[in-house]
Structure 1
Amino acid sequence: MRGVFKSALASVPRWGMAVAAAICTSLWPAHAHAEQTQSHREVLERHLAGPDGTIMIVAHRACWIGTSENSIAAIHACITAGIDMVELDVRMTSDGVLVLMHDATVDRMTEGTGQLSDLSWAQLQKLHLRADRGHGTPLTQNRIPTFEDALRAAKDRILINIDAKTDRIEDILAVVDKVGSRAQVLFKAEAPVDHIRAKAPWIDQVHFQPIIRQPAMQKDPAAIIASYDTIGPVSYEIDIKDQAFTPVLTPLIDARCARYWIDTLAGRAYDDDVAIRDPDRVWGRLFAHGVNAIQTDAPLELKAYIERTGAKARSCSPP
C-alpha cells in the first residue's frame, strides 16, 4: 500500500508535491486507519486466544504511573505504550451502574468517603481520582469511569482482563456484549469449576482464566489443572509462593495450549521491585520456565526488557 502511495507521487511535478501530498493525506488516513485497526484487532485477539510466540504484558490496574489507577487516562497510557492488556476492577453502584474501582470504598482513590456500593452513579460523578495509586496523592481531573466507557476506550486497541468485585457477572457480560468486545476480554475467577458454572453458565463461551494458588494445588497440581478442562481456559493465573514450584506446572499448562500467567507484583514470590533492579532474576527466570503472560505494575520496564532481550515464547494451536 505504501508502494502504491509512493508511485502515485512519483509522476507529480516537484512544484505540485505539496498540493498532491495534502490531497493524498486527506484521502489516506481513513482507509489506513481502518486497515490498521483491523490488523491490530486480529493481533490482540490472537494474543488472547492462546500462546502465539509472544509474552503478553498485563498492566495491573492499567498504566497508573503519572495518571490514576483504573482510569480512562491509564488505559490510554497503556495503549500509547503498546501494552497488550490492562487489568481492571469492576464494581457496581447502589443504582446498578458498573464502574471501575479496586477498593470497596472510595476513600483511597478519591476525595470522597464510604462504600462504593452505597453510593449512586450521580454521587460518584462528582468525585476526582487521586494521582497514581492514591493514599493522599494530589487530586487529578480524572474521574471514576463506567465499565462501558472503559470497554469503548479499549476496544480494538488493547485487551481487558476483568477482575469482578461484584457477583453480578451477568450484568458485566451484558455490557461486554453491548460494546461488542467479547473476543478482547478475559474473565477470571478463583473458584472450583462447579461454582463458576453456577455463577456463569456461559463461561465456556468466553475467554476464561482460573486463578489458582500454590497451596491449593501443591499435593496434586495435575488434578487441579485438569479439573478446569471442561471449560477450556485460554490461560492459568498461578499464585506462586515458592519459585521452585514454577517449572512443575509448565508441562501441564503447555499440554493444554494455554498461557502460563504469573503476577510479579510487589511482595509476591516474583517481585516487580526486584525485577526493576535485576530483570534477569525475575522476568528472565520466568521466561526460562515457559511463563508467557506477566501481570505487573511496571509494564513499560517489562516491555523494554522484552524488546532488549528479544525474548520469545512457545507457540501452539489449540486442539
Structure 2
Amino acid sequence: MSSSRDPHDVPLDIRPARPARARAVRPRPVRPRPVRTLVGAAVAAAALVLSGAAVVAVDRPGPAQTADAPAGGHAARTPAERAYRDLLDHGPDAKVLTAAHRAQWRSAPENSAPAILAAFADGAEIVELDVQLTADGVPVLMHDTTVDRTTDGTGRVDDLTLEQVRRLRLRAGLGGAQAPLTDERVPTLAEAMRLAKDRGLVNLDKGWPFREEIWTVLQETGTVRNGLFKSGAPVPEVQEFRSTHRGAVYMHIVTDTNVADVDAFGADQPVAYEVNFDSTADVVARRPFLDRVASGSRVWSNTMWDGLAERMTDEASLIDPGRGWAALLRSYRTTIVQTDDVEAFERWLRTGAGDPVPHGGVRVQAEDFLPGEGVGYHDLDPANRSNLQMRPGEGVDIQDLDGAVSLGWMRGGEWLTYHVQIPRTGTYEVAVRASSPYSPAGAYTVSFDDGAPSAPVDVRTTTSHAKQELQPSGVTRRLTKGPHTLRIGLPADAYQNWNLDYVQLTP
C-alpha cells in the first residue's frame, strides 16, 4: 500500500529513515523503574552548577484578583493550579509534564471539546490546541487555515463567520476526506479555556498572529495562567507583548536558525523552550546549549514524528523507550514531552513499560513472517516498494513509520504466515496493530495450522497512515501449548490499503 503520509503529519525536513533491524518475537523491552520521580537523578549534576551568569525565568505576576490561581504560598486547589506551579519548576527534580498533541484525538476529533476532556482524564497536564480566527474575529480551534480536512465544509477559516463554522461537523481523529463524520462541532477558544480552567494548561499553537484576540479570551474566562503563548517570533516583538500583557505565560520555539534568541532574552527567560532538531549534531541538540536553556526554563520536546527530535519518536519509544522518551529525558534535558500517545507515555512514566505484551500473551512482529514466496508468504509484486530492505530477495513491503517497522502496500490475494509459540493451553483472541487513513481500510482473515480461515475482519481507519492502533478482531481460537502457525490472509474482493505493525494473541 502507499506509505505516503497526510500533509498535516509531515514535517518539512525529514531525513531518510535509517535501516532498522528485525525484531525478535518477544515482549518489547521494559524499563523497570518509574520515571516521573527519578528524572532529577539523571540531570541533577548538570543543573546544579553552570558556568557564567545564570538565566532565570520570570513569572510576571498577574492581576491581583485572578480567579484561576491562588495567591503565592497557598496549596494548589485544582489540577490546573498544580500544572501551572509545576511548569514554573525548573529544578533538577521537576516533574515531567505531558502535552497532548491536538488533545486526545485518538478518542475524539482533534481540537474538539471531548478530546480536551479525554486528554486531561488520561493524565496530560497540557493540551496543545490550534487557534485560527474567523471572519468576524472570533478565535476558534482549527489546525489548518481551511476547514476542509477536519470538517464536512470547505473554505478558509478567516473567510467564514463563527455562525458558518458552527454549522460544520467535525471528522473523527485526525480528519481527512474519508474520516467518519461525528456530531461534534468546532469549539471556540473561550469554550476550550473554560474546559481547561480547573483541569490543566493549554498550549496555544498557531495563535501568535492572533495574540491580542487570544489575550482577550483569557482575561474574560479567567484563564490567563492556563494559556501558554508560543512562537518563534523576533525577541523584541515577544518582549513587547510580554511587557504590556501582565501575567502572560510564554514559551519560545528554537531551532538552529535562532539559537541566539536564548541570549537575547537575557535574564527574562520564557517559561519553556520548544527545542526542535532533525539531527543530534544540531547546536540545539548539544548538551552545552541544552544546559543553558534548562538552567532557567523547561525544555519541551516533540515526539510525534521523525525530524522533531531527530528519530526519537513515540513509535520508537513503544519498541524501546531508550530510543525515544527515555533518551530525551536522560540526555536532552527534556521535562515536557508533546506526544500523540498520551496513555502510553503516562504508562511509561508510571511503570517504565513502553508497549508491553499482555500477561500470557504472544506478539508477532509483522516483518517476522516465514520465508519463501508461496511458502511463508505470497506477495503480488516481487519488489519491496517501501523504505526498509530488511529481507533482501523477498518482495514483502517493509517500511519505517516514524520508528515502527511495519508492512505496507497491502493487496487483496496476498498472505503472510508466522510461527507462534503458545505459552499455555487456552483460548486466545487475535488483534492487529494497524493504520490507515481510508474507510474502508481493508480486511483480513485468520487461520491456524492450515485450518479454515475466519470470516473477514474489517480494519478500522486510524485517520492517518502513520498513526497505528491496536484493533481487536473478535476472532478467538483454543490453542494448545507449543508451536503453531498463524496465517493472515487478505481477501481478494476487499479494498486493501493499510499498514500492519504486529499481530497479538491475548488469552
TM-score (norm 2): 0.51
- Name the SS of the counterpart of 1:105 in structure 2: coil
Contact 1:193/1:228 (8 A) holds in 2: yes
Task: Give 1:308 deviation, angstroms.
Answer: 0.9
Contact 1:240/1:262 (8 A) holds in 2: no
Q: Which of these residues, 287, 290, 300, is aligned with residue 343 of structure 2?
A: 300
Q: Distance in 2 between matches of 1:296 and 1:271?
A: 9
The one-letter code of the counterpart of 2:131 is V
Aligned positions of 1:235-246 closer than 5 A: 235-244=272-281, 245-246=285-286
Task: Give 1:287 deviation, angstroms.
Answer: 0.9
Q: Distance in 1 between matches of 2:207 and 2:248?
A: 18
Distance 1:234 1:131, change over 3 A: same
- Name the SS of the counterpart of 2:322 in structure 1: helix
Distance 1:274 1:72, change over 3 A: same
Distance 1:294 1:246, change over 3 A: farther
Q: Which of these residues, 57, 80, 83, is aligned with residue 44 of structure 1?
A: 83
Corresponding residue number in structure 2 for 1:262: 301
Task: Give 1:226 deviation, angstroms.
Answer: 1.6
- Name the SS of the counterpart of 2:290 in structure 1: helix
Q: Which of these residues, 99, 118, 121, is aligned with residue 162 of structure 2?
A: 121
Provide the aligned C-alpha RMSD in A: 2.2
Give the gaps of 5 or more residues in structure 2.
1-74, 354-507
The one-letter code of the counterpart of 2:305 is A
Distance 1:168 1:154, change over 3 A: same
Q: Distance in 2 between matches of 1:264 and 1:187?
A: 20
Asked if residue 75 in structure 1 is aligned to residue 116 in structure 2, the reply is: yes
Corresponding residue number in structure 2 for 1:90: 131
Contact 1:264/1:295 (8 A) holds in 2: yes
Q: Distance in 2 between matches of 1:37 and 1:128?
A: 37
Q: Distance in 2 between matches of 1:210 and 1:169?
A: 14
Aligned positions of 1:56-71 closer than 5 A: 56-71=97-112
Q: Which of these residues, 152, 170, 173, is aligned with residue 212 of structure 2?
A: 170
Runs of 4+ that moved beyond 6 A: none
The one-letter code of the counterpart of 1:79 is F
Q: Distance in 2 between matches of 1:165 and 1:75?
A: 17
Aligned positions of 1:1-319 closer than 5 A: 38-51=77-90, 53-136=94-177, 137-165=179-207, 167-198=209-240, 201-202=243-244, 205-217=247-259, 223-229=260-266, 231-244=268-281, 245-256=285-296, 258-268=297-307, 269=310, 270-289=312-331, 290-309=333-352
The one-letter code of the counterpart of 1:154 is A
Task: Give 1:192 deviation, angstroms.
Answer: 1.8
Q: Distance in 2 between matches of 1:170 and 1:110?
A: 27
Return the index of the structure with the highest Cα Rg. 2
Task: Give 1:230 deviation, angstroms.
Answer: 5.0
Q: Distance in 2 between matches of 1:309 and 1:246?
A: 25
Q: What per-residue deviation string (whole Å, max 9, x for no partner) do you get for residues 5-31 of structure 1?
A: xxxxxxxxxxxxxxxxxxxxxxxxxxx
Q: Distance in 2 between matches of 1:303 and 1:48?
A: 17
Give the gaps of 5 or more residues in structure 1.
1-35, 218-222, 311-319
Contact 1:169/1:200 (8 A) holds in 2: no
Task: Give 1:267 deviation, angstroms.
Answer: 2.2
Q: Distance in 1 between matches of 2:105 and 2:209?
A: 26
Contact 1:212/1:238 (8 A) holds in 2: yes
Q: What per-residue deviation string (whole Å, max 9, x for no partner) do you get for residues 56-84 of structure 1?
A: 11011111002110110100101211211
Q: Distance in 1 between matches of 2:155 and 2:103?
A: 24
- Name the SS of the counterpart of 1:138 in structure 2: coil
More strand by share: 2
TM-score (norm 1): 0.79
Q: Distance in 2 between matches of 1:302 and 1:283?
A: 8
Contact 1:57/1:83 (8 A) holds in 2: yes
Distance 1:204 1:243, change over 3 A: farther
